[in-house]
Copies of this chain bind each other. A is one copy, B any other.
Amino acid sequence: MMTHAAPLPAAADRPTGLWLAGARGSVATTTVVGLLALQRGLVEPTGCATTRPPLDDVALPAWSRIHIGGHDVVSTPLETRADALADAGVLPHGVLAAVRPSLAGIDDAIKCRPDPAPGVDVQESAVRSLAADIADFRQRRGLERVVVVNVASTEPPCAEEAWHHDAGLLTQALADPGKVALPPSSATALAAIRAGCPYVNFTPSPGIRLPVLEKLVTAAGLPYAGSDGKTGQTLLRSALGPMFAARALRVRSWSGTNLLGGGDGATLAGCGAAASKLRSKSRAVTALFGDVTAPLHIDHVPDLGDVKVAWDHVAFEGFLGARMALQLSWTGYDSALAAPLVLDLCRLVAAAHAAGLAGPLTALGCFFKDPVGSNVHGFADQWRALTDWAATLPRAGRSR
């Protein structure tokens, strides 16, 4: 008989899995190399908000307790991608050299899973295999839990379907050899649910936001978060926008352009995926200022590599109608901005899962361009919501 039961183990004390969908992409590779470097104490955790007050006081999985798994449609070794990122200025050559021997081991934990072919495969088997892979990863490594994070290529928006709303219709669709029903990001979300894992959508792809999946995840008692990591231009907008509103300055237009190279740039040059991204990006401006003119472009400029350049022009009106303007130009490494957020999200979602929370984690809105379950876009308000929420989680000992 268990009496005087010891308190539930805090999240920070237990091994945690980080399962990356798109595990061989730039963001994933930067996350992996960065985690290895943090585990070895080679670098400061710059960019990781969970290592700074007040979040550093919350019981979260230590770097040493985080294990990487994942899947991807391609099988390029991590080392190959990491070398390219080092040449592009994202990964320091010295850091990569130090962690290089560990990359092959992580390669082994990444499954190659091509998307099922429409008209040939049923998607049900792909979902089932993926769920089994995740569960197997958890069991073999003795993990307390696994957080599934989607960092795969952006998908186009998907058209409304009847089976987006009904579990029975979904089951039929998945088993139909004539079609593949779910977008890959949503198939991953379903596999995560089946494996009993919380899910984070770091892209604007549909993911878990189909109504049927939102019902299933909540019914399963699992938390989820998303969508679309807020890494640059939208981050700036969400920090500056509320200032204009508080000062009663009238924003008349907020025009923007993004230049990006790399894989993400090539994907977003395809109109469909760009539509997802632009839709996600424009939500913040609309939420903050209503129906202002806000043209926005994403251009693929291959020579920029992993660099993203964002330019914003804000035309605003002040006292007595005075016309004024603000211009912003942001030059950043997309993967270097995203990777620490992936680690932060893994830790915070693990803590949410440990705390027994289910459904959309609205308190994590500051991480996303298009936050689930929230229309709050101002960064300061989002940050306050995060820290207020974090204050309700168990504390770590000060020995960290």
Q: How far is the CA of A47 from the CA of B293 in the complex (A)?
A: 20
Which residues does chain B contribute within 8 Å of A33, judged by CB atoms? 320
A314 nearest in chain B by CB position: B330
Q: How far is the CA of A336 from the CA of B317 in the complex (A)?
A: 10
Q: How far is the CA of A245 from the CA of B203 in the complex (A)?
A: 24
| Nearest CB on B from A366, distance (A) | 7
| Nearest CB on B from A344, distance (A) | 9
Check A321 for interface membership: any CB of B closer than 8 A: yes
> Which residue of B90, B300, B322, B336 contacts A90 across the interface (Cβ within 8 Å)?
B322
Q: How far is the CA of A381 from the CA of B246 in the complex (A)?
A: 12
Contact between chains at A30 and B319 (CB < 8 Å)? yes
Number of chain A residues whose Cβ lies closer than 8 Å to a Cβ of chain B: 77
Contact between chains at B313 and A339 (CB < 8 Å)? no
Which residues does chain B contribute within 8 Å of A239, judged by CB atoms? 239-240, 242-243
- Residues of chain A from 295 to 330 with CB closer than 8 A to chain B in the complex: 295, 297, 299-304, 309, 311, 313, 315, 317-330
Which residues does chain B contribute within 8 Å of A93, judged by CB atoms? 93
Q: How far is the CA of A302 from the CA of B247 in the complex (A)?
A: 23
Check A52 for interface membership: any CB of B closer than 8 A: yes
> Which residue of B30, B49, B257, B300 contacts A248 across the interface (Cβ within 8 Å)?
B49
Check A43 for interface membership: any CB of B closer than 8 A: yes
Check A270 for interface membership: any CB of B closer than 8 A: no
A322 nearest in chain B by CB position: B336
Q: How far is the CA of A376 from the CA of B157 in the complex (A)?
A: 43
Quick one: given A326-B328, A336-B324, are A248 and B45 in contact (CB under 8 Å)? yes
Check A331 for interface membership: any CB of B closer than 8 A: yes
Contact between chains at B321 and A46 (CB < 8 Å)? yes
A342 nearest in chain B by CB position: B319
Which residues does chain B contribute within 8 Å of A211, judged by CB atoms? none
Q: How far is the CA of A245 from the CA of B380 in the complex (A)?
A: 11
Contact between chains at A250 and B324 (CB < 8 Å)? no
| Nearest CB on B from A288, distance (A) | 13
| Nearest CB on B from A382, distance (A) | 9
> Which residue of B91, B322, B379 contacts A320 across the interface (Cβ within 8 Å)?
B91
Which residues does chain B contribute within 8 Å of A242, judged by CB atoms? 239, 380, 383
Check A358 for interface membership: any CB of B closer than 8 A: no
Q: How far is the CA of A340 from the CA of B384 in the complex (A)?
A: 28
| Nearest CB on B from A89, distance (A) | 7
> Which residue of B297, B301, B326, B330 contacts A257 across the interface (Cβ within 8 Å)?
B297
| Nearest CB on B from A123, distance (A) | 35
Contact between chains at B259 and A313 (CB < 8 Å)? yes
| Nearest CB on B from A284, distance (A) | 13
Which residues does chain B contribute within 8 Å of A95, judged by CB atoms? 320
> Which residue of B46, B302, B337, B383 contacts A246 across the interface (Cβ within 8 Å)?
B383
| Nearest CB on B from A78, distance (A) | 15
Which residues does chain B contribute within 8 Å of A339, judged by CB atoms? 319-320
Which residues does chain B contribute within 8 Å of A319, judged by CB atoms? 30, 34, 46-48, 336-337, 339-340
Q: How far is the CA of A303 from the CA of B320 in the complex (A)?
A: 16
A256 nearest in chain B by CB position: B257
Contact between chains at A302 and B313 (CB < 8 Å)? no
Check A267 for interface membership: any CB of B closer than 8 A: no
Which residues does chain B contribute within 8 Å of A34, judged by CB atoms? 319-320
Q: How far is the CA of A354 from the CA of B373 in the complex (A)?
A: 42
Mark each residue of chain A from 105 to 128: 1 if its CB lies under 8 Å from any CB of chain B, else 0: 000000000000000000000000
Quick one: given A246-B366, A301-B295, A321-B92, are A236 and B49 in contact (CB under 8 Å)? no
17 A-B residue pairs with CB within 8 Å: A43-B321, A46-B319, A47-B249, A90-B322, A91-B320, A246-B379, A252-B303, A253-B304, A255-B301, A301-B315, A309-B325, A319-B337, A324-B330, A325-B331, A378-B380, A380-B380, A380-B383
Considering the complex of A and B, which 5 residue pairs feature the smallest CB-CB distances, nearest first?
Answer: A380-B380, A322-B336, A295-B299, A252-B303, A239-B243
